[in-house]
Amino acid sequence: MKYKELIELYRSGRLSEEERKKIEEDIEKQEAISEYLYPDEEINEKIPEDESEGNISEKDNEFMRLIRKSIRKAFIKMGVAVTAAVLVVIVLMMTIMPKAIDLFYYNPSAAGNYSEPEGVGGYRERFGLDLSVYTELVAPFNYLDSVDVVSEGYGNYSFNTYPSMRMYGENRKKYAGNIRKGRITFYDPLALERTADNMFEWQTGSNNYNESLTKQLERLKTEYLKTEGRGIEEEGGELRFASSFGGDRDDTKESIKGLSDGRLYRAYITFDNILTYKEAIDFEAKYELGHSWVGIVNDRDGNNDIMGMNTGIGATRGKSPAKYPYIFGYEGTGEGITFKELKNEENAKKHYISLLNYLKDNSSFTDMMDSYMDSYMDRKTKLDRALAYVNEHGLKVYGMAVKAEKKDLLKLIEDERVFGIGIEEN
């Protein structure tokens, strides 16, 4: 039977009780829809005047009212459902989306992929460990190992960073900045100033590790004078063949004359011959330099990058991850640590290799930093080259960075192991 025929039977009262209830339920649904789409006055306007005045029976009027009521109820329910869905989407966007976007970019506040729930060896945020490893390797005098990070969502963060230790009388340096979707900015452009890039003579040219710098430059000078420099010598001119900032011993002595007594200076010491790590530590101990930074030979062709390590630690950071032994400069927990563990060459080698491997395994951080620092060579290439050299030759030292007063520098430059010293204001 067609639905239209059922309606006719309903209107004439010839349906069973069950069929009548079913029709009335359908009518209520239709009425709710109608009431939502067409308010009462609109429906009344569409009914012809003669019909509204009596040509429609009372049952027809009741039928129309039921339909309008059913239609209105249905659309009210639909409106409530749509509104609720929109609110849910908005709440999700406000709470989940900021953190979801964080997953696509470097996250400095993450604890890292280690078993310790509160971070790595005392570092609550990954950024603290990343920055300490990076600055120890490539930024003597700019070592940073403490950070405060605030997440702003959507891959954006603000931070403060500073060294946890400082020498007596030094002001604590604190740098602020932000990270925006994997791009880092320090508000102070001098925060990681790369002044060390031209401070050591073993960084420049293709040097021979089996011969002193003095002999290499004397030979270079002799060859030059034979070919092009005769006129300069005859006129009493001076040739400067050392290409680093500090120059050779004579250049350094001249620089020291202009220094003030009682002030600390940054000193970049170039050794005349490549030293073993033990020889460098003996040099450090002889002049009571404390904990210094040593530049480690990292290029077999004699053109070294600024890459090295600290020879001591000033604070404990907890247990090193198994993958990176001695990354904090010691093994085990705080008990029994002497702060002299890195004076031992075997421990120092493990530490240096762990620094290199850690940066290799954290390319998102190194890529971000090298972009900011305008690195002239792919960092992975540098790290691979350094690892290959130390694994084959061990720790060989081309220079040392220390803080010293004028009186100390006068002693250092007289040591036959020293080729020259680059000096900066502290």
What residue spans define the domains of the chain? 213-222+243-424
* Residue pLDDT, tens place only, 143-190: 898 899 999 888 999 999 998 876 655 667 899 999 999 999 999 988
Which H or E run contains 397?
Answer: strand 396-404
pLDDT average, residue stretch 401-421? 97
Q: In this model, does residue 351 exceed pLDDT 80?
A: yes
pLDDT score of 406: 97
Could you give the 3-state DSSP secondary structure of residue 176?
strand
| Distance, CA of 171 to CA of 417 (rounded, Å) | 32
- Selection from 400, 166, 212 nearest residue 306 by Cα: 400
Could you give the 3-state DSSP secondary structure of residue 284?
helix
Residue 47 buriedness (CB in 10 A; 0-12 / 13-18 / 19+): middle
> What are the tokens at 246?
């500090």
Average per-residue pLDDT for the chain: 81
What residues contact 79, with CB distance under 8 A and at least 6 apart? none
How many CB atoms are closer than 10 A to CB 215? 12
> What are the tokens at 368?
């971000």
pLDDT score of 293: 96
Structural contact between residues 244 and 204, judged by C-beta atoms closer than 8 angstroms: yes
| Distance, CA of 216 to CA of 93 (rounded, Å) | 66
pLDDT score of 261: 96
pLDDT score of 115: 40
pLDDT score of 137: 93
What residues contact 194, with CB distance under 8 A and at least 6 apart? 139, 306, 373
pLDDT average, residue stretch 329-335? 75
How many CB atoms are closer than 10 A to CB 166? 13
* Residue pLDDT, tens place only, 19-56: 878 878 877 777 666 665 555 544 454 545 444 444 55
| Distance, CA of 343 to CA of 271 (rounded, Å) | 19
| Distance, CA of 276 to CA of 398 (rounded, Å) | 9
Q: In this model, does residue 232 exceed pLDDT 60?
A: no
| Distance, CA of 360 to CA of 130 (rounded, Å) | 11
Structural contact between residues 391 and 266, judged by C-beta atoms closer than 8 angstroms: no
96 backbone φψ class: left, alpha, beta (φ>0; ψ -120 to 50)? alpha
Residue with tokens 């050392």: 242
Could you give the 3-state DSSP secondary structure of residue 137?
helix
> Number of C-alpha atoms within 13 angstroms, CB side, residue 407?
4
Measure CA 382 to chain center.
18
Global pTM reads 0.74
* Residue pLDDT, tens place only, 77-86: 788 788 888 8
